[in-house]
A and B are shown apart, each in its own frame.
Chain A
Amino acid sequence: MSVVAARLRHVDYRDYGIVVAFLALFVALSIASDSFLERQNLSNILDQWAAFGLLACGETICIIAGVFDLSVGSIVTVAGVVACKVANSSSPSLGLIAGAATGLGLGIANGVVIDRTRINSFIGTLATSIVYSGLAVIITGGLTVTVLKSGFGALGQDTLLGIKYTGWMWIVFAIVTAFVLSRTTFGRYVYAVGGNVEAARLSGVRVGVVRTTCFAVSGLGAGLAGDLLASRTQSAAANLGVGMELTAISAAVVGGTSILGGEGAIWRGVLGTLLLAIIGNGFNLLNIDTTYQQIVQGGLILLAVAADQLARRR
């Protein structure tokens, strides 16, 4: 018996609701709107949702490990602001590296704080997110930081092989995180810690290290997203990433990653993001009042979580 066949026998087809929903909507929009399938439109979707996509990858890893990261919106802000500041004082590329490094550092800080204090991650990252927001205000002094140097905008504005750099960033980050999650020892430990923390500990898994690394990955994703947004407008202000964490968590959950931990995958986070993206796009293309878009998105989250609960009650 081949390995693929063995695996397929244990596939629960109900798990693939997100794929069906995405394809159905994709086909429907292709029929309803002439411009949906145009390359320009699809490329725009990728570009506009790349920042959320980066966050959703990190959030997916955190949720699988049994923690939430509510601070990514604030990390985006701090990273974007730092990127602009450093770009102005040295070079654009150093600015972007500083932005990503800031994200990574703040993510690690989240992990250490939550591991040491044993505060629930939901509250812990809510608190650090407020701290980080304050930090951004202090750095900017409440003003918008603008970068006039040419080159800083390349990341957010230029195109390679028909896809914006921003889209490439998302694609590469998703592939790397997916590989880490599915192929490495660390990935295994993420599922173990989220699935049964006591069993993981008694199996010799360093629970604190694993969760801290998850926050670090999430922080790095947020740092890259901050770079991306700052580069796109060549500027950053203290409200750059406000509220983005909620959309990222929505994307992860809508994709089918269980909020109870121990289950999920990066492709689910990606597909969840894309589903939210084409819903928004559809509303624009079909000229429907965008107010309804929020109602649909909210309803979708309820549906995804309800389906997850229902599947567990079997």
Chain B
Amino acid sequence: MTDEGRRLDDEGARAAARPLVETRGISKRFGGVHAVEDVSVRIEAGRVHGLVGENGAGKSTLAKLIGGSHRPDGGELLVDGEPVDFHAPRDALAAGIATIAQEIALVPARTVMENVLLGIEPGTAGLVRRRDVRRRFDELNERTGFGLRANALVRSLRTAEQQKVEIMRAIARDARLVLMDEPTAALTRDESERLLEIVRTLAAGGTAVVLVSHYLEEVLSVADTVTVMRNGRLVRTAPAAQETPETLVAGMIGRELSLEFPPKEPPPADAPVVLEARGLTRGRALVDVSLTVRAGEIVGLAGLVGSGRTEVARAIFGADRLDAGEVLFEGRPVVIRGPRHASRLGIAMLPESRKEQGLFMIRPVRENVSIVDLESFSTAGVVSRRRERARTAELARDLDVRAASPEAPVTTLSGGNQQKVLFAKWLLRRPKLLIADEPTRGVDVGAKRQIHELLIRLAKEGMAVLLISSEIEEVLGLSHRVLVMRTGRVVGEFTGDAITDEAVMNAAFATAPGAAA
């Protein structure tokens, strides 16, 4: 198919009008959710194509569809004007499409040269011709101008250098399109700029680049064309010269609010401060973060994925160690030694990923709920199943956990019900501070509504709630106060009527007037 495509390329004038890669009405569903719906884009050779959108807008999924990591449920993917069906990234690579993923995928204990030419070593019958390998590597080094040391071990390199190795690997495989998903997220400013320079060089050499990024300025500085996505759909594709960060943000958030929220009841002005954190710092992930949460208050923590929201939650809960900072709980300074200590103080945390960090998937609902307060059902270390069953059943009923029975393994429950199990588990301890990290991710609309009502009810009963969500509507709809984070810092705070989507998004994307990028 690729050969045929190349033959057609020789036909000259006709080929110029035809994009290198094109999607026509492409769609991808996960469960019942449309991650990408009916998206058509054209990616031209030798151009840099930016792809922007909110968290969960479907930009990474679109990149994965083009890169062969996902297979579309509908629509068409065309390379050189010919429909293709990729089953794996390997197929895409054979068609000249290489992906540089967020997570570096190299063999750390081997050299740069070995990594670049892994699987395509020049040689015969399984024997590698070392001289040819070296010649090929030097050739690539010269062509890209990366100046990588052939015999350096990959694990000894900085992230930025490792990315160069990945890019060179793509070029060594004659990639005509390089997909980059958030390539600068882990880089310093200088490194980012150098990477963007590489992107320009690639494009100048005829390679197409798709750049998925949260950094709008960055995208605008390097891209020829920008595609904006929202809720899995295409908003528009336009020349980068016609866009500004503000127009991109406006396109990304749209105007409609699809969820309705109950009216807010702010806590009384004299409500006591439950949590006060001062100057929390942990490496580059958290920089001097201070915040307070009062009894009955829902404080929303907004920001892009990777902006440090989860790190705040984990630091307060004692799951990660802090380099600096202090925590006052109910007015008393405390040094939280770990999750066990935090839960005994009266702090609960619903972790970001319920499967990885929250639940014991093959164990029954009952055991998942009771684990945090098992001692209270036990005499001399022996669990009273009767008391355990009674209490967990009561909570499950209260939260409307729909399971075949309390003995059903959690893995048999829907996402929404799994999330309710997590709530039930922590409510067992009647916490004074509840930290909910992405409490409605991957949850159906009905359960989402129930979880929203629950959070509001808990706050009304006097619980302090710290809510983290990538869904801007949820943060806006529930929070009495919103803190916005970017690159590990709190960069904005909004209360009452000042909580608007523009204000929050502009702070999160650093497009607000006067905000430093």
Contacts and interface: CB of A to CB of B under 8 A. Distances in A.
B407 A10 contact: yes
B319 to A, nearest CB: 6
Contact of A9 (B344, B370, B405): B405
A6 B363 contact: no
Which residue of B317, B375, B381, B408 has the most chain A CB atoms within 10 A of its CB atom? B381
A206 B357 CA distance: 15
B367 A188 contact: yes
Interface in B77-93: none
Given A183-B382, A262-B360, A6 B351 contact: no
Contacts of A189: 371, 374
A202 B409 contact: no
Given A199-B360, A204-B344, A205-B371, A186 B407 contact: no
Nearest to B344: A204
B74 interface: no
B372 interface: yes
Contact of A195 (B343, B349, B361): B361
A149 interface: no
Interface size class of B (residues with CB under 8 A): 35 or more
A10 B281 CA distance: 47
Given A6-B407, A184-B381, A188-B371, A202 B319 contact: yes
B349 A10 contact: no
B245 interface: no
Contact of B349 (A184, A198, A202, A262): A202
A150 interface: no
A300 to B, nearest CB: 24
A198 to B, nearest CB: 5
B383 A201 contact: no
Interface string A174-206: 000000000111101101100110111111111
A200 B338 CA distance: 12
Contacts of B358: 199, 202
Interface in A1-21: 1, 3, 6-7, 9-10
Nearest to A312: B362
A263 interface: yes
B425 interface: yes
A264 to B, nearest CB: 11
Contacts of B357: 196, 198-199, 202
B511 to A, nearest CB: 35
A204 B362 CA distance: 19
Interchain residue pairs A-B with the least CB separation, the first 3: A204-B340, A204-B343, A195-B360
B425 A203 contact: yes
B381 A202 contact: no
Interface in B396-418: 404-409
A196 B344 CA distance: 21
A117 B359 CA distance: 27
Interface of A: 1, 3, 6-7, 9-10, 183-186, 188-189, 191-192, 195-196, 198-206, 262-263
A188 B319 contact: no
Contact of B405 (A1, A183, A204, A263): A1
Contact of A184 (B319, B340, B383, B406): B383
Contacts of B122: none
A200 B361 CA distance: 12
Interface in B326-344: 338-340, 342-344
A202 B351 contact: yes
Interface string B375-399: 1001001110000010000000000
B383 A203 contact: no
A191 B409 CA distance: 13
11 contacts: A10-B404, A185-B378, A185-B381, A191-B360, A192-B360, A195-B360, A199-B357, A201-B339, A202-B351, A262-B360, A263-B362
A183 B388 CA distance: 12
Contacts of A191: 360, 363, 367
A59 B301 CA distance: 46
A124 B409 CA distance: 33
Nearest to B314: A202
B383 A183 contact: yes
Contacts of B381: 184-186
A198 B382 CA distance: 24
A184 B377 CA distance: 10
A196 B364 CA distance: 14
Nearest to A188: B374
B356 interface: yes
A188 B407 CA distance: 15
A262 B382 contact: no
Contact of A201 (B319, B378, B389, B408): B319
A81 B360 CA distance: 42
Nearest to A206: B340
B141 to A, nearest CB: 38
Nearest to B386: A3
B356 to A, nearest CB: 6
Contacts of B340: 204-206
A186 to B, nearest CB: 6
Contacts of B383: 183-185, 188
Given A185-B381, A201-B319, A204-B339, A7 B407 contact: yes
Nearest to B360: A195
Nearest to B354: A199
Contacts of B364: 10
Contacts of B378: 184-185
A196 B359 contact: yes
A200 B357 CA distance: 8
Given A6-B405, A206-B340, A185 B360 contact: no
A185 B374 CA distance: 6
Contacts of B359: 196, 199
Nearest to B343: A204
B405 A203 contact: no
A1 B407 CA distance: 12
Contact of B371 (A6, A10, A192): A192
Nearest to A11: B407
B349 to A, nearest CB: 7
A44 B383 CA distance: 37
Contacts of A263: 362
Contacts of A9: 404-405, 407
Contacts of A198: 356-357
Contacts of A205: 340, 371
Nearest to B371: A203
Which residue of B351, B371, B372, B405 has the most chain A CB atoms within 10 A of its CB atom? B371
A250 B340 CA distance: 35
Which residue of B340, B356, B367 has the most chain A CB atoms within 10 A of its CB atom? B340
A309 to B, nearest CB: 15
Contact of B372 (A7, A203, A206, A262): A203
A184 B382 contact: yes
B408 A10 contact: yes
Nearest to B409: A10
B367 A203 contact: no
